[in-house]
Chain A
Amino acid sequence: RKEVEQDPGPFNVPEGATVAFNCTYSNSASQSFFWYRQDCRKEPKLLMSVYSSGNEDGRFTAQLNRASQYISLLIRDSKLSDSATYLCVVSRGNTDKLIFGTGTRLQVFP
């Protein structure tokens, strides 16, 4: 089983739609969770950290479910500029080594 698994997509959604991505992780000892965004042929950039109680940043909401070992990202009111690959990132157990998922590609169309 992969350490971090994501549906590769692509998710094709119209502008204004709400879209959600899930990510599962295998190591129950993982402590740190993040979502990164990677535009085509660009470097990954931190989108948001994921906290145990869930957190929101504008149109983006992240949730963590430790019991089921998954994290989610919800994007409301999708914009064309949201088109990118969203990478789920989890620490390897209680270490500072960050493991990246293969990413979920989102394409927002007009």
Chain B
Amino acid sequence: DTAVSQTPKYLVTQMGNDKSIKCEQNLGHDTMYWYKQDSKKFLKIMFSYNNKELIINETVPNRFSPKSPDKAHLNLHINSLELGDSAVYFCASRGQIATGELFFGEGSRLTVL
């Protein structure tokens, strides 16, 4: 019954590989996000989608490509992984804008070797 679920939870891979992280929410929300939390614990927004439409692209390298097949899913594909991509990636969804409540997934910890 997890509201926002991400897979995989852990991902260890070599530099140069391509990987994907999937996210699904069952809250009926229209807006979904990807956030990156680096080793210094800074949580930075990457992308936002509203009902499958890209709303925010926060100057993320082109190697990162989000895809939203429907409003309940927002996947993140990363090409040519670099050491600096190592971080925890959080998916989140948001319903009514006024409440401001973001519901986060448990995070996907990516380690690039």
Which residues from chain A sit less than 8 Å from chain B, CB to CB? 32, 34, 36, 42-46, 49, 85, 87, 89, 91, 96-100, 102-103
Contact = CB atoms under 8 A, between A and B. Distances in A.
Nearest to B94: A96
B45 A43 contact: no
B100 A32 contact: yes
A77 B3 CA distance: 32
B37 to A, nearest CB: 9
B44 A100 contact: yes
A46 B97 contact: no
Interface of B: 31, 35, 40-45, 48, 56, 90, 94, 97-102, 104-107
Contacts of B41: 85, 102-103
Contact of A44 (B44, B45, B98, B104): B104
B45 A98 contact: yes
A29 to B, nearest CB: 16
A43 B40 contact: no
B100 A45 contact: no
A49 B42 contact: no
